[in-house]
Amino acid sequence: MGYAHDYATAIMHRGRIPMPPEDFVPNWGDAPRRHKLYPGAVTFPLPDVAITADDDAPTVADGFAAAGGDEPFDLPSLSAMLQFSYALQGRRLAPTANTDLVSLPAYQYANWYRGTASGGGLYPCSTYWVAGPGAEVSPGVYYYSPAQHGMQRLVAGDVVERLRRIVGPAADDASQFLVVGVKYWQNAFKYNSFSYHAVSMDVGTTLQTWRTWAGAHGRLINPVLWFDQGDLSDLLGLEPDAEGLFAVVPIAWAGAQAPATGREPGRGRVVRSDRERSKVVIEFPTLTTIHRTTAAAAADRPAVGSLAGVGAVPRADGAVIELPEPAGLTMPLVTALRRRRSSFGRFEGRPISAAELAAALAASVAARVPSEIDGPDDGTLVKLYVFVNHVTDVPAGVYEYAPEANALRLVSPDEPGEFLQQSYFLANYNLEQTAVVIVPTVRTHAVLDAVGARGYNVVNAAIGAVSQNFYTAAAALGLGAGVALGFDNISYAERLGTTVTDEAPLLIMLLGHERAGGGDYRYELG
């Protein structure tokens, strides 16, 4: 069936059959940087853009509802999208149940925050800008430095034609491109073989934040997920096994001229290398193998519409509870992204309203990472299940969410609190005190059968996008939220009855009120 199938199966069973290396302990004293560092590279700050949270500012609802528009990007609008998605927004030092609390006062271990979520901490995706003529900067390749909110020039010269050939017809007439990659060691130092599963979701959170921000401002983000990854790694000067490349995003640019046809690509390529802080970098064979498997499949683009029919099928049985109209997500988008955070054990058992639940569910299913193989008959890949603990007018139990009907379909009337806590591995969340736990599922193996190994990235990007919308909606509702991967996937599949439908529970998303009166520390950068 292929290694991607094997890896997906191992991920699902890791709560019962640990993935190698079983005795691995992270060396926090030798941890890598949370961004890349290119010594000697010229860095220019991106322009400061005044984004105000006034009555005219785009709201969270605007971002979720927008399908995108034809408004082109320019340097200020690109700067704003990167700033409120990936630039550091400030530092947090509130007491939580997370295990890193004691170390947070030390600057070396400071807890910085940003608009985009990532699995297990503030671990980064790499963003490169391949700039062609007319971009208000010299043509070349740039690395976006989130710590500086600036661009580091890695090579000067127009290499867009080479990138266009790497991407193929999906490049359209674009002369500007963003490339999303992951330097694995920045996450694998903690998560070892599990790292690929986590970072491929992080790609989805990044793309969804961009899509939400761009859509709210009349712009469009449509990533390309299949391309010649080996050639692109060479263009960017990357070690092929050290960094995976997950998406290329063509950008419509103000005043851009359509690229001339038939011209020879420039010969430039990045020769700079980033400087690793860790003295010891460990290679994990499982991580390397799944990376090579998906990278090798990246140039084999499936036909348009290949994902039709792989979505989950709704249940036909179970009592139905209709939800009220979702609560409005009227908070300015910029405010919600700044307030997004993980609650880490601060939940209390106070009920949320059914309208708030409906809003969180609707926001989650609105997330989508499109690709160049999307067809008119494609359905959504993700189905949501809901473990209800404390929701007004909704009895405790387990439900399937029916988005078209804005309703819940009963799976089990048993109260889920004890199950939720027993099936969670860590001590940083009190799941029985959450109002709900939302579980996104995907038919992973069906996707892999339909589009090959690269489908693993499609699955996890979709799940990551759902989690980003969930977090943003929770912030807009003024509710606590958390997303976790440390649970027994098989126990959830058995509880939901999805072992026979090939639906894999891949994430748990926690929602509820937080305890009032907790200490906090405010340190905002802008």
Which pLDDT value is given to residue 97?
67
Mean pLDDT by 10 residues, the chain (526 residues): 95 96 93 93 91 87 86 96 91 73 76 85 89 94 95 96 95 95 96 97 98 96 98 98 98 81 74 96 98 98 96 90 98 95 89 99 98 93 98 98 98 97 90 97 98 98 98 98 96 95 96 85 73
Q: Give CA angle at 206 (213, 85), nearest 5°.
A: 50
Evaluate if pTM is beyond 0.85. yes
On whether the CB atoms of residues 223 and 207 are closer than 8 A, the answer is yes
On whether the CB atoms of residues 363 and 470 are closer than 8 A, the answer is yes
Which pLDDT value is given to residue 266?
67
Which pLDDT value is given to residue 94?
74
50 vs 245: CA distance, rounded Å? 32
What SS3 class is residue 375? coil
Which pLDDT value is given to residue 517?
73
Peptide bond into 21 cis (omega under 30): yes
Residue 108: Cβ-neighbour burial (10 angstroms; 0-12, 13-18, 19+): exposed
Which pLDDT value is given to residue 48?
85
150 vs 152: CA distance, rounded Å? 7
On whether the CB atoms of residues 302 and 226 are closer than 8 A, the answer is yes
Q: Please, how many CA atoms are within 13 Å of residue 293, restricted to the half-sphere of its CB?
A: 22
Which pLDDT value is given to residue 349?
93
Which pLDDT value is given to residue 108?
78
What SS3 class is residue 153? strand
Q: Name the token pair of 418.
A: 């004890």
Q: Which domains does the chain have, with CATH numbers?
A: 25-49+70-87+119-256+287-296 (3.40.109.10), 320-523 (3.40.109.10)
